[in-house]
Amino acid sequence: MRGPTYDAAVPVVQLVVDRAEAELAADALWQAGPSAVAEEELPDGRVRLTADVADALAVGGAWALTVIDPDHDAHLDAWRRWAQPVRVGRRIVLNPAWQPAVPGPAHDLVVVLDPGRTFGSGAHPSTQLAVAAIEAHLRPGDRMLDVGGGSGVLSVVAARLGAARVWAIDIDPRAPAVTAANALANGVQAVVVASHTPLAEVDGVFDMVTANIGVRVLTEVAGGLRDRLDTGGFLVLAGLLEAQVDPLLATAFPDLVEVERRRLQGWAASVLTR
């Protein structure tokens, strides 16, 4: 569960669905272009989804949408009370900055995070899949580009794992400051550079490129992602439902080879190389 802030100028909608429909409904909301989608488990086993959607008619499916007041900060921040550390991959622990760390093995790599009002608390399966893929494929000294970096969780994890330099870019005007704060909190502020630089204006190639941004945006920026990937490097794609991966790879990344696919709770992440 994550708690974003929504632009007061953009309607915020909610829908309540059965657990079996939650993934499909969340994907429909993401396709409408929100800055964030929050998921909340209800006592009756259903799931409440909240998102800022400028055009509610763009949300597919047969679900009834309810428009809510986006100015209730206390409501939007309620998720923080239940946020817990998340263990990802072999030894990474994503720890909410306001929660005490849970004792674990000495080799654990604990990354403290406060997403503020940006995407990337570590609770969503797509973020966990991307983090695990970075842990598995990042090599010490690599240069990484994180496209749609949000809170900087992927960038900070990469820096903590030994990346020489990480560039995090995002169109969200709040993202660079949040990323910088999380980098500072984890002692990697000298490694992580966060900005609003558009992907088309990024120079050079990178040993790893990550993009946890959903199928619609991945399709739109596929050419830019391929152009920024160095030969022998790894491209990590996340924010995808399992059924979306094969069509995306076939249409948008036909020249790359998939070396790994990870799955969690109906979501998937794909690792590609040249």
In a domain, 114, yes or no: no
pLDDT bracket for residue 80 (50, 70, 90): low
pLDDT score of 8: 42
The predicted model scores a pTM of 0.77
pLDDT bracket for residue 1 (50, 70, 90): very low
pLDDT, average across residues 148-158: 94
pLDDT score of 79: 52
Does residue 155 sit in the same domain as residue 218?
yes
pLDDT, average across residues 63-68: 82
Does residue 197 sit in the same domain as residue 245?
yes
Does residue 51 sit in the same domain as residue 130?
no
In a domain, 21, yes or no: yes
Does residue 179 sit in the same domain as residue 263?
yes
Domain boundary among 48, 79, 110: 79
In a domain, 99, yes or no: no
Does residue 127 sit in the same domain as residue 262?
yes
Does residue 188 sit in the same domain as residue 239?
yes
pLDDT bracket for residue 104 (50, 70, 90): confident
Closest CA to 2 of 104, 147, 113: 113
Contact by Cβ (8 Å): 258, 213: no
Q: Express each pLDDT in 180-205 by its tens digit.
A: 999 999 999 999 999 999 999 999 99
In a domain, 70, yes or no: yes
pLDDT at 58 exceeding the cut of 90: no
pLDDT score of 264: 92
Pairing between strand 206-212 and 192-195? Answer: unpaired
Domain boundary among 79, 101, 129: 79
Residues 40-62 as b/e (b if ≥16 CB within 10 A, e otherwise) read beeeeeebbbbbbbeeeeebeee
pLDDT bracket for residue 123 (50, 70, 90): confident
In a domain, 4, yes or no: no
pLDDT at 30 exceeding the cut of 70: yes
Helix (H, G, I), strand (E, B) or coil at 266: coil
CATH of the domain at 205: 3.40.50.150
Mean of pLDDT over the chain: 86
pLDDT at 274 exceeding the cut of 50: yes
In a domain, 223, yes or no: yes
In a domain, 191, yes or no: yes
In a domain, 158, yes or no: yes
pLDDT, average across residues 114-141: 85
Least confident of 52-61, 140-149, 161-170: 52-61
pLDDT at 116 exceeding the cut of 80: no
Domain of residue 64, residue span = 12-79
pLDDT score of 115: 75
Task: Enter the tokens of residue 192.
Answer: 């992580």
Does residue 55 sit in the same domain as residue 178?
no
Total structural domains within the chain:
2
Does residue 138 sit in the same domain as residue 264?
yes
Helix (H, G, I), strand (E, B) or coil at 215: helix
Contact by Cβ (8 Å): 31, 58: yes
Does residue 177 sit in the same domain as residue 234?
yes
CATH of the domain at 68: 3.30.70.120
Helix (H, G, I), strand (E, B) or coil at 98: coil
Does residue 149 sit in the same domain as residue 205?
yes
DSSP lists the bridge partners of residue 93 as: 87, 110
Does residue 243 sit in the same domain as residue 128?
yes
Does residue 75 sit in the same domain as residue 123?
no
